[in-house]
Amino acid sequence: MDVQRIAAFTKDGQGGNPAGVSIADALPAEPEMQRVAAEVGYSETAFAARQGAGFRVRYFAPEAEVPFCGHATIALGSALGAQFGAGEYPLTLNDADISVLAYEEDGHWGARLTSPETSHTPLEPVDLPEALGIFGLTLGDLDPTIPPARINAGAEHLLLPLASHAALQSMEYEFDIGARFMQAQELVTVNLIWRETSRRIHSRNPFAGHGVYEDPATGAAAAALAGYLRDTGL
């Protein structure tokens, strides 16, 4: 199977988050997609195959399938552009229909995605101490202006807004404990953020529930966060 390795959300060709991308005539069997994703080892690998006027897409992390992945969709969009040309490509996911716009700029392919619809629910108080404890945090480490919540843009995330940059920078946790918590709560990531200004937010995303300690740049969590801030007037 041909798997491209493409980094999304880079700056000047550096950094970002790498994803595997496979474009084929038909999607492989699920065990094969899971095997390839584990072998690639990135936080996600996107598998795409023609379906009608667009593409059927599934995303696999090293240990399990995820319903949506933003950075892998950006990587897929750039690969589709390079292979088929610039334009908007409809994508059918497991639970949503989205699109990605491929474009070429200065000799490089990029993409912009339209995410699934966003939603959020308040975090149950009983869940908060356990979630904070995993990262060695207390209630005093939280930003009092942004309530913690479960946020969604095609995938479920737990949002923990922190009051200081230092708390975000020092994030650490025991992998197995974090994995059990995220799996029990059916989370794709825990999205820890610090709001520097009203328009600039720093974010980190533990991803242990699917086999990766931290996802370097998470489009699905970013979209879910944006929807939450918009819909709550924050």
pLDDT at 11 (0 to 100): 85
pLDDT tens digits for range 180-211: 999 999 999 999 999 999 999 999 999 999 99
pLDDT (tens digit per residue) in 168-177 = 999 999 999 9
- The pLDDT assigned to 217 comes to 87
Q: In this predicted structure, what is the pLDDT of residue 85?
A: 96
Phi, psi (deg, nearest 5) at residue 29? -65, 150
Which pLDDT value is given to residue 157? 97
Query: What does the block give as tokens for 167?
Result: 């708390």
- Per-residue model confidence (pLDDT) at position 156: 96
CA distance 103 to 20: 19
Residues in the chain, pLDDT under 70: none
Q: What is the pLDDT of residue 1?
A: 82
The C-alpha atoms of residue 213 and residue 173 are separated, in whole angstroms, by 9
